[in-house]
Structure 1
Amino acid sequence: MESPVMADASTTPIVLVHGWAGSAEAWHPIVSRLRANARGPVAAVRLPGSPGAPDGGTPTIPDAAAMLAETLRAQAGPALLVGHSMGAQVTLLAHVMAPESVLGEVVIDPAYGASNTAHVEMQEWASRIETQGHAATYDFFASAAESMPPEVGDLLLADHSATDPAVIARYLRSEYLDSGAIGFMPATQRAAARRTKPVLAIHSTELGASREGMLPAPPGSRIETWSGHGHFLHLEAPDRFVETVGAWRRSLEPSVVE
């Protein structure tokens, strides 16, 4: 029998998963820096319905997670998953669907662990998006763009305007309102309990970090709070983020692949 091959964490692929009304292009400032500093491949996925995504697939969290899990299984070795906001729901579920294909996970201000009291708010917001279109979400993204360099904020707003409002609403419902959604704390806790690989959770608020601390986490997991940053903290401080991801990847023990 051949000896097992060690998968060096320093060459592990990094797979980036964008958030709500985002695209693969939203990761450009991160991808360029990671590729300059990483020995392994870096890829930003396109979730169903996002700008530039191929036709097919339903814009829901379960479909997006299944697509990501299938992509991971097709790779030669385990990957480091990085998910922002809604994308962290996708990486969480893909993590539990294909644990053998995951070295670890990084979540950035994840859109999970919400209080059940927000159910009515989410229902009303989804309904407004369906009737008002982009106007119902513009302020959310415009306020975030103000905290970024203009060229990065422009990418954010371009993604928002290029995403069909029906897709934006559909994802919101699948995050919080559909049967099986994992956005509210009890469902998040059940889903998180199934993760097996270490998770680095980076939050912009103490509230988010405290809620993360209420979740089951595999050994070796860690929570960081980046005070003074907004929801798109990785785009506000890309150099710090890339350095943090690189250090986290190096800290993970190599996996053994037959």
Structure 2
Amino acid sequence: MLFQFIFNARPEEIKKAYYNCMKACHPDLSGNDPETTNFCMFINEVYGVLSDPVQRMVYDEIHGYALTAINPFMDDSAPKDHVFVDEFSCIGCKNCANVTSDVFRIEEDFGRARVHSQCGNPELIEQAIESCPVDCIHRTSAAQLSLLEDEMRRVERVNVALMLSGMGSASMDVFRMACSRWEKRQAKVLEQAKIKMTWQKDSGKTDSYWSNLWGKPQEYKKSEEEVKERARTAAAAARRWREYSRRGVDKPPTSKLPEAVSNKEK
């Protein structure tokens, strides 16, 4: 799958993964199913990001695949202009959806609130946040939201009624989990960098690590607005990928609620 490429994959490897993905889900092979068509359009957008040196650079920085990356959860300079519902705290009271239904909606399968759109009346969004009885709505940066959505994609969830009956949420801290996953990615990148630099030193090469992997983008100015826009794009893509993943497009969740696992074993 295009989304599971290794962090230092070269352009030709990403291109091959893209072609394989399109062969597996092309609309012509699925009877022009509308959902499959939309998914293919989404894959094209993702490939457009990963195959562009500048956009790939931003993606790597957000997700911890760049040597110069800063953990978004430790970066206070980025504006927190996005909202995220912590579904392990949400009790399905529907308050936020009643306040501003164009931003928050209740999932039918799980009975919890989700952010459907980041575009809404700022005053109503703030009202929904302040009136939430369990404080499960959080302001985040676009980069943080991208990581949080990616983390939620990996977790098996239960209906809110089961959660309230004791099938737990206290053991799940999605912010801590997302932050920890970022740190692990960064540690792996740094370890690979050490290995690469040691090899270069022993072989007599002087090129800096990955300096020529993507080449040098021409006339690229990393303006604040450009960074914000690309971060917003990454966050939106993460939310959409989570939706496709929930429908079974991606592999099954890799993390399960401890209570749900023990319940199945009984």
TM-score over 0.5 for the alignment?
Answer: no
Q: Which has the higher contact order (CA 8 A, sep 6+)?
A: 1
Pick the structure with greater CA Rg: 2
TM-score normalised by length of structure 2: 0.28
